[in-house]
Amino acid sequence: MHPKDLQVAAYDYPLPASAIALQPLPERDASRLLVWRGGALYDSGYRDLPDWLPTGTRMVFNDTRVTEARLHFPGPGQRALEVFILEPADGSMLADTLSQQGTITCRCLVGGASRWKTGLALEKTISLPSGSMTLRAWNKGKAGDAFQIQLAWEPSTLSFAEVLHLAGQLPLPPYLRRAPQAMDAERYQTMYAAREGSVAAPTAGLHFTESLFARLEVKGIQRRFVTLHVGAGTFRPVTAEQMADHPMHGEFSEVSRAVLEWLIDAGGPVLAVGTTSLRTLESLYWMGCKLLQQPDLPLSRLDIGQWEPYGHHKGVLPATSTALKALAGWMDEGGLTRLVTRTQLLIAPGYTFQVANGLVTNFHQPRSTLLLLVAAWMGDRWRKMYEYALDQGYRFLSYGDGCLIGPFFNDGTSAPVKEF
């Protein structure tokens, strides 16, 4: 079956509010880890992750950093209006505009938009040690499912990143239904976050600590970092009845030439930490496939569309190393040390994984594209895993526990708790 024909109702499940983790645990790596290996489930924890992985495993992490993308302005009648920045209006990468000064126009979601007339300026002032900053916003009208909002600030010498740090808030997931607290500034970022530009966290990475990294190194487990700037679409449930009617959100990724070489030559299974790392890895393969067919393809046409991989016949797909070498050679010819592209890749049942051999991820929302990705690994068995997790009190969603999915892991230190 082509993923377009999937019925979304088959990926729904009852998620009680009591199962959603509203706060992080005091210690990141204290979270539980449900391991699925060879048709069996094992109860474990993130601190035990090194025991599950054979020496030589290659772990890939997403090092994006969440931007303070929520802005609040006094609105008409003094009721606040919220502006949630999605991306620059010209479709460029948010990370590339953070150094911009003076003004910018962005695609935004607006809370209370009915009270904000087109052309009306909103204003807020932030006190600074050496004076103040004034931020103004104009509603330029709706375009598609978002609004065009022009922002301008004084002093105009401040960068857009500085403005957001001063005036914005972290965009916590909407299901947390609370304002950011002081601890969120640290805990809703991975400890290795480096490249600012996301409006949501790569939550599988929130469980990792320096001590866990040290234990993985002792075990001979390698790690590298890619960047995928997570968009607000990651929170969007699939409202269509059939996947053919759901437009997958696009996100920008950045991968170094050195990481690509490591994927080609290092050997050992590849474990993606989070769905964003996984989508980045798999997108690299399909870029290589495109270049094998059209070696002179320009960068602008390397972007991966939602259904693009499903047009290839499984019997004639190139080997992973062949596709990645084609991409590496193309980068060398162009003198590129880093590759920045956009992907809309939808991974759903019917997809064949090409680069990753396993996945670490959190428990995801019903009817979400993230849950479809898990089902692409497990088939219908995802439901039994989620039912077990709910029955046993695992914590769900961004600040919750996680699961380890894949066939290559070591034997568990205890007997399986469920087999199917």
Q: What ranges do the domains of the chain cover?
A: 3-65+188-409, 69-169
Residue 73 and residue 137 in contact, taking contact as beta carbons nearer than 8 Å: yes
Q: Are strands 70-74 and 131-143 parallel, antiparallel or unpaired?
A: unpaired
pLDDT, one tens digit per residue, over 339-392 is: 999 999 999 999 999 999 999 999 999 999 999 999 999 999 999 999 999 999
The mean pLDDT value of the chain amounts to 93
Residue 350 vs residues 11, 143, 376, 379: alpha-carbon distances, Å: 14, 34, 7, 9
Q: CA angle at residue 361 from 225 to 273, to 5 degrees?
A: 15
Q: How far apart are CA 351 and CA 373, in angstroms?
A: 9
Q: Is the dihedral of CA 70, 72, 75, 78 positive or negative?
A: positive
Residue 220 and residue 121 in contact, taking contact as beta carbons nearer than 8 Å: no
75-79, 310-314, 317-321: least confident range: 310-314
Q: How far apart are CA 398 and CA 225, in angstroms?
A: 20
Q: How far apart are CA 275 and CA 375, in angstroms?
A: 12
Please tell me what DSSP assigns to residue 242: B
Name 20's bridge partners.
396
Task: Name the phi and psi angles at 201, rounded to 5.
Answer: -85, 150
Which candidate, 31, 35, 9, 5, places its Cα nearest to that of 377?
35
pLDDT, one tens digit per residue, over 13-58 is: 999 999 999 999 999 999 999 999 988 999 999 999 999 999 999 9
Residue 319 tokens, joined: 């080997």
Amino acid in the structure at residue 267? G
Name residues whose C-beta falls within 8 Å of residue 179's C-beta, 6 or more positions apart in sequence: 169, 172
Name 359's bridge partners.
272, 405
Residue 327 has pLDDT above 70, yes or no: yes
pLDDT, one tens digit per residue, over 148-175 is: 999 999 999 999 999 999 999 999 998 9
Provide the Cα torsion 149, 153, 159, 162; round to 10°.
Answer: -90
- Distance in angstroms between the alpha carbons of the first and the last residue of the chain: 23
pLDDT on residue 412: 63
What pTM did the predictor assign? 0.94
Q: How far apart are CA 132 and CA 155, in angstroms?
A: 8
Name residues whose C-beta falls within 8 Å of residue 44's C-beta, 6 or more positions apart in sequence: 32, 33, 34, 35, 52, 404, 412, 413
Annotation: CATH topology of 69-169:
Thrombin, subunit H (2.40.10)
pLDDT on residue 91: 87
Q: Collapse the DSSP code of 193 into the 3-class scheme (helix H, G, I; strand E, B; otherwise coil) and give the result.
A: coil
CATH 3.40.1780.10 fits 3-65+188-409, yes or no: yes
Name 42's bridge partners.
35
Q: How far apart are CA 210 and CA 138, in angstroms?
A: 44
